[in-house]
Amino acid sequence: MPSRRTLLKAAALLPAGPALALRPDAGVTAYAFPLTAVRLGAGRFAENTARTHAYLRFLDADRLLHMFRVTAGRPSSATPCGGWESPSTELRGHSIGHVLTALAQAYASTGEAAFKTKGDYLVAELALCQRPNGFLSAYPESFIDRLEAGQQVWAPYYTLHKIVAGLLDMHQLTGSALARTVLERKAAWVQARNSLLSYAQRQQMLRVEFGGIGETLFNLYQLSENPAHLTTAQYFDHAQVLDPLAAGVDALAGFHANTQIPKALAAIRGYHATGDTRYRDIAVTFWNLVVKQHSYAIGGNSNGEYFQAPNRIASELSDTTCECCNSYNMLKLTRQLFLTDPARGAEFMDFYEKALVNHLLGAQNPASAHGFHCYYVPLRAGGLKTYSNDYDNFTCCHGTGMETNTKFTDSIWFTSGNTLYLNLFIPATLTWPGRGITVTQATGFPETATSRLTITGTGQIDLRVRIPSWTTGAQVRVNGVLTGSPVPGSYLAINRTWASGDTVDISLPMALSLEPTPDNPAVRAVRHGPVVLAGQFGTTNLSALPNLDPAALQPTGVPLEYTAGSVLLRPFYQTHGQRYSVYWNVAGTFAAHYPFDEASGSTALDATGNGRDAALAGGATRTTGRSGGAVQLTGSGAYVNLPAGLLAGATSFTIAAWVRLDTAATWPRLFDLGAGTGTYLFLTPRSSAGTPRYAITTGGAGAEQRIDGPAALPTGVWTHVAVTHTGNLGVLYVNGAEVARNSALTIRPSVLGATTQNWIGRSQYAGDPYLAAAVDGFRIYSRALSAAEVSQLNSTGQ
Ligand SMILES: [Zn+2]
């Protein structure tokens, strides 16, 4: 442990924060306050932080150092750590970097000397383990040989990144000069090692996860002005991932998610270091794609750690969704994008709040005094959060959890000149460096929908209060007087000279909403304002999404709590120790989607995850589709058998599909759902009139109510066809555009009952021909899609 002299020296060093940077960040127009300037107030965030602080005090530094010492040939009698830090795990050593960052953040946020003391001890001991060439790791340098030779090895630069990031934070947040020395020697080793490789060799190497080492090296360059650090950072520009992003293309599917997010983070810091707008555009494009096309209702992303095809959410619910590191890194990226483009800040911070409150705040176990943390956050129905432990886990998410829970104050406030942005409704006090002004935010958000700012000191501030997109009827009062016209999804500006005792009361009414998934509008998450609510299912596992009747949702009187029948819904961030469901099948709804993308077999999987699989029958085969595969129907006995009861209870529906007709036969069926020739609804591509027809009846052919299209469907080309039916209105669409409607359909789909003869390509009438066509992207919805939504189906081609 450190001597008393070291302690005294440490106490004399005030955290210096970003003031140490020599190079100004290019392209930045807003600035963070140092952690030393913001103190967290009592509440849920502070409770999380207190648990992580307790863990940081508890952790045995010598156990963390054990494998560094062993690898360096130094004595160690400490008990080895387990989990990902075990002596045989190739990722060993990464946790010490997380711990250094967390200790540095804890010290800067509280001034508690014990955090710096422990951090300084770790740095001093790591310095003793550093090789003369600068290499420093808990694994031998031969791992890097294996990496460069293309041999199997588990992410060695990922581990090194965590260590250099921790050293940098110890330097910047606690003023440790030794941390800077160790870091610069290590950076020199990275440069020396990689400068010996060709560009092609490095690009090959970058296919293995390397974390945020590029980001840390750009950060170091901003501090050091040493061009070698810039060169070294750019060795980690991974063209395979960055080039499609620079072209604005979503090529993320199939890539390991948390391997890629730090590359975008490095890119935005590369922009700040160089001014090269290509870096900025890569980062912005990545953020847009991940947030809008790859994120769940809680703000997390990834299933089984990988990005999936865009807009697949309901069909990607499992026990391995939403790795916590991903959101930790997305928040870091979002914060950098805010600094870069505060004009878009309200949008960035809506996402920040969503992922922070719904994913990360609830990823720490409140029953653990040491803040044990989730790795994945399961989003399958019946999921259960599981957590890390003191010494036998040490996953990446255990590590980033320590970091997240020691820096909640870093994105509440930002500044630009006299402008002060209030972004997050978290209780905290800002002491504005150099201005003699403090701003205290008191709030119980999100359990309460209000926040009060109290100003101490005097001066002009152009205050910008974030008005979240989810609120309606927001009100802001200055000293009790209504001020301005708050617009959701923007900032309310209050520019005035403030005096001690001035108050700002912010009221942000929240409403209940059901957020549909993009791939199945019937599958929805329940939100109250920004807070995702989860059904609480105790020890009951679930094999399918639970049903929810929105009309049954009743508030319990406890903030953010509802019941739906016998099920209690509470904030997901408060959901621990029991099984839950975030997503629901909304009552009276049903849906199915058959992409026909299976390679073989007779099953056509329901891609919605609702389990309504269909079966190829009568010699139906597979062919190339409009997107992926399709089912090929021959016109002579082949059809697809859809599940019984598919439209049972339907008051509204949409059926849509791609079809490529082989022949212009009369009376085949694209689909026909019924119970024989008396009761059915169908769509034929060609009635006796020569044009498509939708018909519904409960009294046979003579009682059909119909929509007749105006023109024949072509043969030999993919054509998108859709029918919507709600109330008395049915609309027929061809290629995304309405072609006919009937507003006098008095027969409701529900009166057909639970039909059992539900087919693609086959008629209830035995004399009608089977369909000769390829069919793809067959979708059923429990509501009438809008014209825009049908058009969207047509334009996406799926
Ligand atoms: Zn992780």
pLDDT tens digit sequence for 262-274? 999 999 999 999 9
Distance 209 CA to ligand 1 centre (A): 12
Distance 374 CA to ligand 1 centre (A): 9
Query: Does the domain at residues 413-445+450-507 carry the CATH identifier 2.60.420?
Result: yes
Which one, of 585, 566, 630, lies nearest residue 773 by Cα?
A: 630
Q: Over range 631-655, report the average pLDDT.
A: 87
The pLDDT score that the predictor gives to residue 542 is 93
Distance 409 CA to ligand 1 centre (A): 22
The pLDDT score that the predictor gives to residue 518 is 86
Residue 311 CB burial class (10 angstroms; 0-12, 13-18, ≥19): middle
Instruction: Report the 3 state secondary structure along 85-130.
Output: HCCCCCCCCHHHHHHHHHHHHHHHHHCCHHHHHHHHHHHHHHHHHC
Distance 528 CA to ligand 1 centre (A): 28
pLDDT tens digit sequence for 187-236? 999 999 999 999 999 999 999 999 999 999 999 999 999 999 999 999 99
Q: Over range 616-634, report the average pLDDT.
A: 94
Distance 300 CA to ligand 1 centre (A): 12
Domain with CATH 2.60.120.200 in the chain: 590-796
Q: Answer yes or no: is pLDDT of 614 > 90.
A: yes
The pLDDT score that the predictor gives to residue 20 is 57
Query: Does the domain at residues 590-796 carry the CATH identifier 2.70.98.60?
Result: no
Distance 326 CA to ligand 1 centre (A): 7
- Better-predicted residue by pLDDT, 9 or 399: 399
Distance 341 CA to ligand 1 centre (A): 28
User: How high is the mean pLDDT of the chain?
Assistant: 94
Distance 220 CA to ligand 1 centre (A): 24
pLDDT tens digit sequence for 2-26? 333 333 333 333 333 444 568 999 9
Q: Answer yes or no: is pLDDT of 756 > 70.
A: yes
Distance 397 CA to ligand 1 centre (A): 4
Which one, of 414, 433, 489, 601, lies nearest residue 29 by Cα?
A: 414
Distance 113 CA to ligand 1 centre (A): 29
- Produce one character per residue of 665-679: b if its CB has 16 or more CB atoms within 10 Å, e if not: bebbbbbbbbbeeeb
Distance 218 CA to ligand 1 centre (A): 23
Q: Over range 307-315, report the average pLDDT.
A: 94
Distance 54 CA to ligand 1 centre (A): 21
Residue 350 φ then ψ, to 5°:
-60, -45
Q: What distance in Å separates the CA atoms of residue 650 and residue 752, rounded to the nearest whole number?
A: 9
Using pLDDT thresholds of 50, 70 and 90, give the confidence band for residue 786: confident
Distance 433 CA to ligand 1 centre (A): 35
Distance 415 CA to ligand 1 centre (A): 31
The residues facing 754 across adjacent strands are: none
Distance 323 CA to ligand 1 centre (A): 6
Domain with CATH 2.60.420 in the chain: 413-445+450-507
The residues facing 706 across adjacent strands are: 695
The pLDDT score that the predictor gives to residue 15 is 39
Q: Over range 91-99, report the average pLDDT.
A: 98
The pLDDT score that the predictor gives to residue 611 is 74
Q: Over range 399-415, report the average pLDDT.
A: 98
Residue 696 φ then ψ, to 5°:
-140, 140
Distance 302 CA to ligand 1 centre (A): 11
Distance 588 CA to ligand 1 centre (A): 38
Distance 670 CA to ligand 1 centre (A): 47
Q: Over range 57-79, report the average pLDDT.
A: 98
Distance 305 CA to ligand 1 centre (A): 9
pLDDT tens digit sequence for 249-300? 999 999 999 999 999 999 999 999 999 999 999 999 999 999 999 999 999 9
The pLDDT score that the predictor gives to residue 606 is 86
Q: Over range 52-79, report the average pLDDT.
A: 98
Kindly report the CA angle at 459 between 457 and 461, in degrees rounded to 5?
115
Q: Over range 402-419, report the average pLDDT.
A: 98
Instruction: Report the helix count and the strand count for the chain, using DSSP H and E.
Output: 18, 37
Residue 249: partners with Cβ closer than 8 Å, 6 or more residues away: none
Taking only Cα atoms into account, the Rg of the chain, rounded to an integer number of angstroms, comes to 30
Q: What distance in Å separates the CA atoms of residue 633 and residue 771, rounded to the nearest whole number?
A: 6
DSSP of 306-340: B--STT--TT--STTB--HHHHHHHHHHHHHHHHH
Residue type, 166: G
| From 218-222, 313-317, 521-525, the region with the lowest mean pLDDT | 521-525
Distance 71 CA to ligand 1 centre (A): 25
End-to-end alpha carbon distance in the chain: 63
pLDDT tens digit sequence for 128-183? 999 999 999 999 999 999 999 999 999 999 999 999 999 999 999 999 999 999 99
Distance 333 CA to ligand 1 centre (A): 16
Distance 399 CA to ligand 1 centre (A): 8
The pLDDT score that the predictor gives to residue 587 is 60
Q: Answer yes or no: is pLDDT of 652 > 60.
A: yes
- 3-state secondary structure (DSSP) of residue 341: coil
Distance 210 CA to ligand 1 centre (A): 13
Distance 377 CA to ligand 1 centre (A): 11
